Each structure stands twice: as structure tokens, then as C-alpha cells.
Amino acid sequence: MTKKPEDEKAAAGGKVTGMRRSRPCPICSKPSTKENYPFCSDRCKQVDLSRWLTGVYAIPASEEDDPDESDFDLQD
């Protein structure tokens, strides 16, 4: 089996590009870096973490009825 020229470049330490497109930092909109993805810096990572810890960001949750409580409502 013959090696393709691309395989030889990769084996010789050629440049390999990632398949993911670069996105801007969600905090400051600067280009993100590979080391801090999806952020551009450690500072922006810390700002995001702080927002989660202080409740600025929140994931909404729906409260489901407790099945045990509904049994009491049905009894007369």
C-alpha cells in the first residue's frame, strides 16, 4: 500500500488543522484561543465562572408535582 503525500507530511510533523471553526469569546468577543476555548483568556474564564457562582447565569428548572401529594388531593 502506497502512502499518500498528506500522510507523509503528518508523519513528518506537518501542520494539522482542527476541524472546529474558531468562535469569538462569549465574554468579550475577541477570538478564542485553543488553550482557553471557548474563551480568549484566563480572565474571561474567571468572569464566566463568577457569573455562574453568583447566580447571574441560571438554568431554569420546572418543578414537577410530587406524586405522593397528588394522592391526598384526590381523596374526599
Per-residue pLDDT tens digits of the chain, which is 76 residues long = 566 656 665 666 777 766 667 789 999 999 999 999 999 999 999 999 999 999 999 888 887 766 666 555 555 5
Is 39 annotated among the ligand-binding residues?
A: no
Task: Give the separation between CA 55 and CA 67, rounded to whole angstroms.
Answer: 30
Q: Output the pTM of the full model.
A: 0.53
Q: Known binder of ligand: residue 28?
A: yes
Return the closest-CA partner of residue 21 out of 29, 30, 32, 10: 32
Q: Is 40 labelled a binding residue?
A: yes
**Domains contained in the chain, number:** 1
In a domain, residue 38? The reply is yes
How far apart are alpha carbons 31 and 33 in whole angstroms? 7
Residue 40, Cβ density class (10 Å: 0-12 exposed, 13-18 middle, ≥19 buried)? buried
Does a structural domain hold residue 6? no
Q: Which domain holds residue 48?
A: 22-56
Q: Is 76 annotated as a binding residue?
A: no
- Dist. CA 25–CA 29, nearest whole Å: 5
